[in-house]
Amino acid sequence: MAGGKGKRMGLPVEKPLLLFLGKPLVDWVVEAVQSAEKISEFYVVTSTNTPETEKRCKSKGWKFLRTDAKGYHDDLKQAVQDADLMGAILTIPADLPAITSKFLDKVISSFEVSGKDFLAVFVPIGRVSVWGFQFPQQMNTGAYGTRFQESTSSMAQESSKRAKSRRVPL
């Protein structure tokens, strides 16, 4: 999903194109999706809010679906209908640069054996490396890495407490 305004960012660039370690956010996600063994096809869902993201999709040869920018859920519904998609659908926001193909394959495998109609995944920050997320080395060094670790430590503990009763092993 790459069609939001990203208005909280307050930047002149579309959020999916925001650079993270020198590469647009959407590129990190697409690379993980393309490398996942259990994903056979993907679309980048754009909207009238993200014309530059759509141009990037065209230049990279990625399939995209343009929606009417009515909000995340309405846009997702429109994309599914416009592409006439059937069966299980994996949706991923374009702003998850730490996502990996290994993690995506684990999520899909868990869904396949769950017998459920849907699966939502929430990863406590303290468990990201255990479940296959990989933060680039630049994030773990210097002042940024220190601030990141300090600011997420208490958040990870609280998130882990809340998630224990609902956790599905991956």
pLDDT of 149 reads 42
* Tokens at 61, concatenated: 């040869």
Separation between Cα atoms, residue 95 and residue 38, nearest integer Å: 21
pLDDT of 129 reads 58
pLDDT of 156 reads 42
Residue 32: which of 90, 97, 79 has the closest Cα? 97
- Answer whether 0.75 is exceeded by the pTM: no
Largest Cα–Cα distance in the chain? 47
Could you read off the pLDDT of 10-51 as tens digits, one per residue? 777 888 888 888 899 999 999 999 999 999 889 999 889 889
Could you read off the pLDDT of 93-140 as tens digits, one per residue? 888 888 889 989 988 998 899 888 877 777 666 655 555 555 555 444
- Asked if residue 169 has pLDDT above 60, the reply is no
Mean pLDDT, residues 65-79 taken together: 88
What element of type H or E holds 152? helix 142-163
Could you read off the pLDDT of 141-154 as tens digits, one per residue? 444 343 334 434 44
- Asked if residue 89 has pLDDT above 50, the reply is yes
**Contact at 8 Å (CB) between 67 and 79?**
yes
CATH numbers and ranges of domains, the chain = 7-97 (3.90.550.10)
* Tokens at 156, concatenated: 């990870």
